[in-house]
Amino acid sequence: MAVVKLQNVTYKYPLTDTTALQNINLQVNEGEFVAIVGPNGAGKSTLCYTIAGFVPHFFKGELTGTVEVAGNESSKSNLHDWVLNVGLAFQNPFNQISGAKYTVYEEIAFGLENIGLPRDEMKERVGDVMTLTGISDLADRSPYSLSGGQQQRVALASILVMQPKVLVLDEPTSQMDPIGTREVFGVIRTMAEKGMTVILVEHKVEWIANFADRVIALYDGQILLEGKPQEVLTSDVLMDKGFGISRYTSVARKAKGLGLWTRDSLPVTLDEAVEGFKIG
Amino acid sequence: MNIEIANLHFTYPTGVQALRGVSLTIGSGEQVAIVGQNGAGKTTLVKHLNGLLQPTSGSVRIGDWETREHAVAKLARRVGYVFQNPDEQLFSKNVATEVAFGPRNLGFSDEQIQALIQDALVMTELSNKTETNPYDLSPTWRKMVALASVIAMDTPIVIFDEPTTGQDAANIARIANVIKTLRERGKTVITITHDIDFCAENFERVLAMSQGQVLLDGPANEVLGQEEVLATTYVDPPQLTRLGKKLGFKETVRNQEEFLAGLKKKDA
């Protein structure tokens, strides 16, 4: 069942002439893990804002078409109700931190305070989510004193604690080292396995190929391609348009030209590459 | 102009020992990538090169200058520093003014300043954006403005802190191109990066740090092939290095050419 449904969505930011999103039609099923790829300026963050209701409730501009989450239409709902269904972790965690709280612990509890959750339940949820995201030791720190990677974990935790139906993540590991990336992808995967719907914007294509059910390639505000991760991520079209490509894909494409890769399909992950090259 | 770091220790006022005895020499015109987990001391180390931090003990020399004897403003003639987050260094109303700020402060003549600005703008592909306010540009282009404003200072040493973070493939290629041009001009380039594939493809020397010390230092292939040691500082070898290993290549490979050569050798 579709939990997110965009129909003919076109959007222009205020005071601009160019369309940030153009005629987007997109359905995401409940429990599905969808990854969005695209070069900078393709409209990935705008699409996140649109699904999360920031467009049109915070960013005004010109929105046409319909955006539905869990059967409600965003232009007819208010942001307060909307955030109960959709949580968005911003690309730049600094923009997400409320500024109203002195400690990480309070920051994470902030959303729950606003919906008036009983104190005991609030404590339990905050504790759980801090353990899950590996930030229990940061509880008493100021959110502003943290590194970029730590702020990204706090941003993710403050969204997860709300237990939204749909989790929208805009490059959640962009400021992390490989171990942080691995841990955070682990958390995201756990949430997906628990049945949360995940929409993830990400440049690290090897992770996407391992995790996502479906990949959407966005370009110039439009959906250029969509389908299974391996199909989309190895498409020739992405090469010329500045999309991130796995090194395994590009080297196999070269090798294919030299007769050193014999399979029809190209690899995205290490395992696929090893398998294909072993055969010759 | 050599960089000489001798037994460098640094302890933050909080008591955190960020550097615990770092000694190394970087020769004129070398291209060095510094890798290692968050908190390994990478940024603390490079902040000593332009005097933003002073050693708790030990010494840092840039050519014949001991950093503790010279002001940051003076060290800026020798060491340019591009911050990880461009928003921490941009403040002017348009790109041209932003890029002009550095060379103006170094006391170049008007003619020299104009030449330096033009050169930096061409190198970063910003020539058609000179009148734009940096904050009206996308984060990708703001990054290029940050690069341009440091390149325009024409320092013999340029430091990049995580230049590829949050950048798309097209801009990563642009940044690689800038680094290549600087190499051709004989500049010393030092880059902190988590992007190990970018490191493998653009740097000849790699320094791996862990817990305030240098763990590995040497030619890229030598360092990047040491999977077990790198794992202790949470660095995965580059994708093609891992693939070569899995396929049983005898030599460490780190880019497409080396990988394909290895593949042919294996088949032969």
pLDDT tens for A223-269 read: 999 999 999 999 999 988 889 899 999 999 999 999 999 999 999 99
**H helices of A76-204, where?**
79-85, 104-114, 119-132, 148-160, 178-193
Q: Can you list the domains of chain A with their CATH numbers?
A: 2-94+164-243 (3.40.50.300), 246-280 (no CATH)
Which residues from chain B sit within 8 angstroms of residue A201, using beta carbons? none
Say whether B239 and A280 touch across the interface (CB within 8 A). no
Say whether A175 and B166 touch across the interface (CB within 8 A). yes
Say whether B37 and A206 touch across the interface (CB within 8 A). no
Cα Rg, chain A, nearest whole Å: 20
Our CA-based measurement puts residue B112 at a distance from the nearest CA of chain A, in whole angstroms, of 34
Q: Which of A16, A40, A92, A269 to mutate to test the interface with B (most CBs of B within 10 A)?
A: A40
Q: What is the 3-state secondary structure (H, E, C) of A13-29?
A: CCCCCCCCEEEEEEEEE
What pLDDT is recorded for position A242? 84
pLDDT > 70? residue B26: yes
Whether A105 has its CB under 8 Å from any CB of chain B: the answer is: no
- The C-alpha atoms of residue A37 and residue A178 are separated, in whole angstroms, by 20
- The C-alpha atoms of residue B75 and residue A198 are separated, in whole angstroms, by 48
pLDDT digits over B98-113, tens only? 999 999 988 899 999 9
pLDDT > 90? residue B205: yes
Token pair 């208010």 in the structure block, residue: A78
What pLDDT is recorded for position B167? 87
Q: Can you list the domains of chain B with their CATH numbers?
A: 1-78+155-228 (3.40.50.300), 91-154 (no CATH), 238-268 (no CATH)
Q: Which of the residue ranges A92-101, A143-152, A172-181 would you say has the lowest mean pLDDT?
A: A92-101
Residue B216, SS3? strand
pLDDT > 70? residue A190: yes
**Higher pLDDT, residue B111 or A175:** B111
Which residues from chain A sit within 8 angstroms of residue B267, using beta carbons? 260, 280
Residue A224, SS3? strand
Torsion angle (degrees, nearest 10) of CA B212, B213, B218, B223? -70
pLDDT grade for A178, boundaries at 50, 70 and 90:
confident
CA-nearest residue of chain B to A239?
A: B169
Strands A214-219 and A86-89 come out as unpaired
Residue from B52, B84, B10 nearest A148 by CA:
B84
What pLDDT is recorded for position B267? 65
Say whether B239 and A176 touch across the interface (CB within 8 A). no
Cα Rg, chain B, nearest whole Å: 19
pLDDT > 80? residue A50: yes
ipTM rounded to 2 decimals: 0.86
pLDDT > 60? residue B268: no
Say whether A248 and B194 touch across the interface (CB within 8 A). no
pLDDT grade for A280, boundaries at 50, 70 and 90:
low
Task: Please tell me which of the candidates A41, A178, A273 has its beta carbon nearest to residue B235.
Answer: A178
Strand ranges for A189-263 from DSSP E: 197-201, 214-219, 222-227
- The C-alpha atoms of residue B25 and residue B92 are separated, in whole angstroms, by 36
Task: Please tell me which of the candidates A40, A246, A248 has its beta carbon nearest to residue B168.
Answer: A40
**Higher pLDDT, residue A149 or B104:** B104
What pLDDT is recorded for position B39? 83
Percent share of chain A, pLDDT over 90: 70
Task: Please tell me which of the candidates A149, A175, A277 has its beta carbon nearest to residue B263.
Answer: A277
Which residues from chain A sit within 8 angstroms of residue B260, using beta carbons? 251, 254-255, 258, 260
pLDDT > 70? residue B57: yes
Instruction: Tell me the CA end-to-end span of chain A in Å, nearest whole number.
Output: 42
pLDDT > 70? residue A275: yes
Q: Which residues neighbour B17 within 8 Å (Cβ) at sequence distance 6 or greater?
A: B9, B10, B11, B212
Say whether A248 and B38 touch across the interface (CB within 8 A). no
pLDDT digits over B190-201, tens only? 999 999 999 999
Which residues from chain A sit within 8 angstroms of residue B165, using beta carbons? 174-175
CA-nearest residue of chain A to B245?
A: A274
Residue A267 DSSP one-character state: P
pLDDT grade for A146, boundaries at 50, 70 and 90:
confident
Which of residues 137 through 166 in chain A touch B, CB cutoff 8 A? 147-149
Whether A118 has its CB under 8 Å from any CB of chain B: the answer is: no
Q: Which of the residue ranges A2-16, A64-78, B26-40, B133-147 would you say has the lowest mean pLDDT?
A: B133-147
For residue A69, the cross-strand partners are: A4, A72
Torsion angle (degrees, nearest 10) of CA B87, A168, A216, A190? 120
- For residue A56, is the peptide bond before it cis, meaning its omega torsion is within 30 degrees of 0? yes
pLDDT > 90? residue A106: yes
pLDDT > 60? residue B248: yes
Say whether B242 and A149 touch across the interface (CB within 8 A). no
Average pLDDT, chain B: 93
Q: Which residues neighbour B141 within 8 Å (Cβ) at sequence distance 6 or greater?
A: B126, B129
pLDDT digits over B60-81, tens only? 999 999 999 999 999 999 999 9
